Amino acid sequence: DQQVKQNSPSLSVQEGRISILNCDYTNSMFDYFLWYKKYPAEGPTFLISISSIKDKNEDGRFTVFLNKSAKHLSLHIVPSQPGDSAVYFCAASWVSGGSNYKLTFGKGTLLTVNP
Amino acid sequence: DTGVSQDPRHKITKRGQNVTFRCDPISEHNRLYWYRQTLGQGPEFLTYFQNEAQLEKSRLLSDRFSAERPKGSFSTLEIQRTEQGDSAMYLCASSLAGTGTHNEQFFGPGTRLTVL
């Protein structure tokens, strides 16, 4: 059962334009969401996160939007740069008994930013 | 370099052999996680340590897998009697968090295991 879903395996965007990566989740217990970027042969790199008490969080070119009623979040990258080309993973977690913070990941979306 | 480090980066072994991986977390981090990633999938949680205590193990972690974190510092993940299905990228992550707070986990570069 895939609790975090990234339905677009790939996305291609022109340099300077906006990239929008989407993520859906099914577990209503999730209360914290994160985006990671991964280059080949490297581990995932943390990008940005959002708590379920917020609907938007912004950090430079990266903005994450959360729609709790739709169980949907998105990552916006503006403007997109060729160096942003990577696999982007959506992840979610929840406080369970105050001790468990494991992350549940989607399958990832390969973003290609063309010069 | 003060990030999470993993050793080795690559391991090729024959089916039936035992392998051990090491992870050195960011020094002040009290939590350490192991994940496994296969082709086309996101990382999947295997196990989690708070200091030296192993607090949760996924059902993915069969009896052939064992993880330790002596003294709450580095951690090792051992796979006994490896099978071809164990071929994957094994990722280690660490975080610093107090009770009731969420945490960003910082990942190492991973150990890619190939079982022939």
Q: Which residue has the tokens 């082709």?
A: B39
Task: Tell how strand A109-114 and strand B5-7 pair up.
Answer: unpaired
A1: confidence class by pLDDT, cuts 50, 70, 90:
confident
Q: What is the pLDDT of residues B10-48, one digit of tens each?
A: 999 999 999 999 999 999 888 999 999 999 999 999 999
Q: What is the pLDDT of residues B72-109, one digit of tens each?
A: 899 999 999 999 999 999 999 999 876 555 678 999 99
List Cβ neighbours of B91 (8 Å cut-off, separation of 6 or more). A43, A44, B6, B34, B35, B36, B37, B43, B107, B108, B110
Tell me if B102 and A93 make a contact (CB, 8 A cut-off). Answer: yes
Nearest to B8 by CA among B50, B101, B17, B19: B19
Per-residue buried b or exposed e for A34-62, using 16+ beta carbons within 10 Å of the residue's own CB: bbbbbeeeebbebbbbbebeeeeeeeeeb
Tell me if B55 and A44 make a contact (CB, 8 A cut-off). Answer: no
Q: What is the mean pLDDT of chain B?
A: 91
Cα–chain-centroid distance for residue B23?
A: 7
Nearest to A61 by CA among A44, A33, A41, A37: A37
Tell me if B42 and A41 make a contact (CB, 8 A cut-off). Answer: no
Q: What is the pLDDT of residues A13-22, one digit of tens each?
A: 999 999 999 9
Suggest the residue from A62, A90, A99, A101 to mutate for an interface test with chain B (most B CBs closer than 10 A): A101
CA nearest to B109 within chain A:
A43
Q: How far apart are CA A88 and CA A3, in angstroms?
A: 17
DSSP structure class, residue A107:
-
Of B97, B107, B108, the CB nearest to A101: B97
What would the mean pLDDT of A73-88 be, rounded to a whole number?
A: 97
Q: Which residue has the tokens 């050793």?
A: B7
Tell me if A89 and B42 make a contact (CB, 8 A cut-off). Answer: yes
Q: What is the pLDDT of residues A28-75, one digit of tens each?
A: 888 889 999 999 888 999 999 999 899 999 999 999 999 999 999 999
| Minimum distance, in Å, between the CA of residue A51 and any CA atom of chain B | 9
pLDDT for the residue numbered A99: 46
- Contact list in A for residue B99 (CB cut-off 8 A) is 98
Task: Identify whether the C-beta of residue B26 lies closer than 8 Å to the C-beta of residue B2.
Answer: yes
Task: Identify whether the C-beta of residue A112 lies closer than 8 Å to the C-beta of residue A54.
Answer: no
pLDDT at A97 over 80: no
